[in-house]
Amino acid sequence: MAGLTESLLPKRVDRRAPAPPIAATQAVVVLAPGMGDPCREVGGLSLLERLFRQLSELGSVREIVVVAPPSVALLEASARVATPVVILRAGESDHRSMLRAVVGRLHDRFVIVAGDLLVDERILGWLVEQTSDVLVRRDANPAELLGSIARSSLVDSAPLPPAVVSVSEFPTYWQDRRGHVPVHCLRVARDADAEEAWKVLLDHVEKRALDLPARYFDPPFEAFLVRRLCPTGVTPNQVTVATGVFGFAVAALFGFGWLRLGVLLAIFVEVLDGVDGKLARIKHMTSRAGELEHVLDFFYENSWYVALGLFLSTSGVRWALPAALSMVAFDLVDNLVNMAFSRFRGRNLAEASTFLGRFRLVSGRRNIYTWIFLPGFLVGRPELSFAAAAAWAGVTAAVHTVAALLESWKPTPGSSVAPRRDLESIPRAVRAALGGRDEAASAPQPR
């Protein structure tokens, strides 16, 4: 109790000690003359609204300030932007003059970003954490109006030059996407830029650990649907509900023996199932309900196997219902194994080894079972396809269970050292800049 009481008491402050470095709590979006239109729509959102949502999702940004000339018309932030947005008008000719005109309204440190940029949220998240001046540039281009700046740098007569880091120096591995995703920073000033931005966004939201159908068959159809749904008012949750309705419709078709129609609708469900997640990530509309989508998937997927087992058993295939129940059991075991491994090891099982990454392409799951069903259903021998799918479900559960146990015995890389901070997430040039200006000159050159 004494220790707890002491921890609650105020500490003595050594006024001679230098103030601790301060991370940014404010984001400043600058719309300087000559920039592209910040209201240009890409991916169903204007560039400005997308920045608002990205910055608001960071959590540590307490205020977003937009600095714009009086003549620039701006759209209000949507209700999805929880962080307060303040608009300041500055009729100056360049971004530095505009910032100096509103310097009294700026925090001690802020993230600065041009309003016509399509910026990877990983860059924004990293900039918010920086405590020294740094600018980010695209490869072979001058430094963008994107960085972390101290207010004192604007008023100091001889400020130290900020460190400059290239986008290519940021690590590409992203746990949320289960693989390597290129980091992007794109200026959108023309129609051609907007089209390129669409391609970047569609690749940006694609998860990397996929099975064969999701990797090679689904993407063109998903992209087609996403591009047409993004400009509309259709929400990701509405797409999720529609997917669930179609999913249970497949079970009904299977149960009544409409196997050919059912398997074709199952392929459509396969495509639609990837649309809601991509739509949510592109428009920054993720929600708790969307995170529970996998629960809905589990129930309608397994309703397919039970419905097929019931239909085939009434058609004289006696082993069909036990096989269907075994598929449900194998699917449950496989989900629990993957969930437990991800929770305790901090990564997906498919990322644990090269073999498991390749096995993920063909491992038993709904998409693979659907394509196993397809030939047998079309030629009138559904029992053969169903038997193959049930057997592959057992193989998948066994392989994943054994692999999870073997991988769990391996030591976690770096587990013997308590990291002070994630140095691998910091570009080399910036690490040198944060360590001291003299060290930057001897730092390795950017890749």
Write down the pTM of the prediction: 0.83
**Are residues 101 and 232 both part of a single domain?**
no
**Are residues 247 and 325 both part of a single domain?**
yes
Instruction: Tell me the backbone φ, ψ of residue 146, rounded to 5 degrees.
Output: -155, 120
Tokens 């309003």 sit on residue: 115
Q: Name the residue among 154, 156, 182, 72 with its Cα closest to residue 116.
A: 72
- Going by C-beta distance under 8 Å and a sequence separation of 6 or more, which residues neighbour residue 430? 130, 134, 163, 165, 169
Predicted confidence at residue 422, as pLDDT, reads 41
Q: Are 163 and 135 in contact (CB under 8 A)?
A: yes
Residue 445 — pLDDT band, cuts 50, 70, 90? very low
**Are residues 136 and 222 both part of a single domain?**
no
Domain range enclosing 297? 208-409
DSSP letter assigned to residue 83: S
Q: What is the pLDDT of residues 345-386, one digit of tens each?
A: 878 899 889 999 999 999 999 999 999 999 999 999 999 999
Q: Rounded to the nearest 10 degrees, how much is the dihedral formed by the CA atoms of 335, 237, 78, 233?
A: 140
Tokens 């040198």 sit on residue: 432
Residue 8 — pLDDT band, cuts 50, 70, 90? very low
Predicted confidence at residue 143, as pLDDT, reads 65
**Are residues 402 and 309 both part of a single domain?**
yes
Predicted confidence at residue 420, as pLDDT, reads 32
Between CA 313 and CA 67 the distance in angstroms is 69
Q: What is the per-residue DSSP string for 382-436?
A: HHHHHHHHHHHHHHHHHHHHHHHHHHHHSPPTTTTS--SS-GGGS-HHHHHHHH-
**Are residues 159 and 258 both part of a single domain?**
no
**Per-residue pLDDT at 390 exceeds 70:** yes
Q: What is the pLDDT of residues 72-111, one digit of tens each?
A: 888 899 999 999 999 999 887 788 889 999 999 999 999 9
Asked if residue 402 is part of any domain, the answer here is yes
DSSP letter assigned to residue 197: H
Which of 2-6, 58-62, 390-394 is modeled with the greatest confidence? 390-394
Number of domains in the chain: 2
**Per-residue pLDDT at 21 exceeds 80:** no
